[in-house]
Amino acid sequence: MRRWNSGFTLIEVAIVLVILGLLVGGVLKGQELIAGARVHNLIAQQTGIKVAFFGFQDRYRALAGDYRFATQNIPGAAGNGDGNGRIEAIGTPPENLLVWDHLSKAGLLNYGFSAAGAVAASSATSPANAYGAFLDLAYDNAYADLAVPPSRHNLKTGNQLPLELLAEVDRKIDDGNAATGGFRGSAVFGAGGSGTCWNGSGRWLAGSRFPNCGGAELF
């Protein structure tokens, strides 16, 4: 009777190690591709909204959300802004919700948002990021700066974004610093801020892998 050796040959062990290496490499590459896709999707979302925003301004000579004559000139617009040149969280509906209504009703965003009767952001009024948090476009100073930030119009990414994602977006489209340049960190809607997502000099704390950060693109 033939006796079977219970051990593995060096060739068999080598084959198993090669297969495991290929599997691990495939998993890591897949994670890298997913992370890259999320970065590009966030950049594309921000870019699309900026194009719509400036397109509206060019067409109507006014800011979406702040436009005084929206109901006269945009079919279906849910309300008018006060025309003071600032998109603020004031009015009924508030201007920072009307901005999405005006952009949608003007045909510049393909989301179909409506601010009619709204007082807070929802899936009916506002776009969301890939993690389900709502974006905001407003005139305020809720973004990172090395000093006291001045109020400016800015497009916030919403919170619940992984720190590494925002750091990579900043490196791709700006200077890689959360407190300088055109893309900043933003500790709004419960997102982490200085000491959690970036430090006092604006360096993203990517090593912490914090899952709830936010950003803002300045206009």
Euclidean distance between CA atoms 197 and 28, whole angstroms: 24
Q: Is the pLDDT of residue 7 over 90?
A: no
User: Mean of the pLDDT values across residues 160-174?
Assistant: 96
| pLDDT (tens digit per residue) in 134-148 | 999 999 999 999 999
The residues near 32 (Cβ < 8 Å, ≥ 6 apart) are: none
Give the chain's mean pLDDT: 90
Which secondary-structure segment (H or E) carries 37?
helix 10-60
Residue 29 has pLDDT above 50, yes or no: no
Span 165-194, mean pLDDT? 97
Across residues 175-201, what is the average pLDDT? 97
**How many other CB atoms are there within 10 angstroms of residue 144's CB atom?**
21
pLDDT tier for residue 12 given thresholds of 50, 70 and 90? low
For 73-123, how does the pLDDT look when each residue is reduced to its tens digit (9 = 90+)? 999 999 999 999 999 999 999 999 999 999 999 999 988 999 999 999 999
How large is the average pLDDT for residues 172-180?
A: 97
Closest to 155 measured CA to CA, from 109, 203, 92:
109
Q: DSSP letter for 118, please.
A: -
User: How far does CA 191 lie from the centroid of its chain?
Assistant: 12
Q: Are 186 and 163 in contact (CB under 8 A)?
A: no
pTM of the model: 0.84
CA 166/CA 147 separation, integer angstroms: 21
Nearest Cα to Cα of residue 144 among 154, 135, 134: 154
